[in-house]
Amino acid sequence: MRRRISGCAVLLVAAGTALAACGSSGSSGGSSAGSSPASSGSKTIKIGVVTDLTGVASSGFTTDVKGIQAYVNRINAAGGVNGYKIAYVVGDTTSTPTGALTAVQKLVQQDNVFAIVENSSDFFGAEPYALQQGIPVVGSAIDGPYWGDPKDTNLFAAVGVVNEHYTSVASGQFVK
pTM above threshold 0.75: no
Report which of 156, 150, 151, 170 is spatially closest to residue 123, judged by C-alpha positions: 156
CB neighbour list of residue 70: distance below 8 Å, 6 or more residues apart: 8
CA distances from 98 to 86, 94, 104, 134, 160 (A): 28, 8, 10, 19, 25
Q: 55-80 burial by CB neighbour count: b if 16+ within 10 A, else e?
A: bebbebbebbbebbeebbeebeeeeb
Report which of 67, 60, 48 is spatially closest to residue 7, judged by C-alpha positions: 67
151 neighbors 85 (Cβ within 8 angstroms) = no
- 14 class by beta-carbon count within 10 Å (0-12 exposed, 13-18 middle, 19+ buried): buried
Side-chain half-sphere of 39: how many Cα atoms within 13 Å? 13
In whole angstroms, give the CA distance from residue 75 to residue 160. 24
Q: Which CATH number fits domain 2-175: 3.40.190.10, 3.40.30.10, 3.30.9.10, 3.40.50.2300?
A: 3.40.50.2300
**Tens place of pLDDT per residue across the chain (176 aa):** 444 444 444 444 444 444 434 433 333 333 333 344 444 456 999 999 999 999 999 999 988 999 999 999 999 999 999 999 999 999 999 999 999 999 999 999 999 999 999 999 999 999 999 999 999 999 988 887 787 778 888 988 887 655 555 555 555 666 66
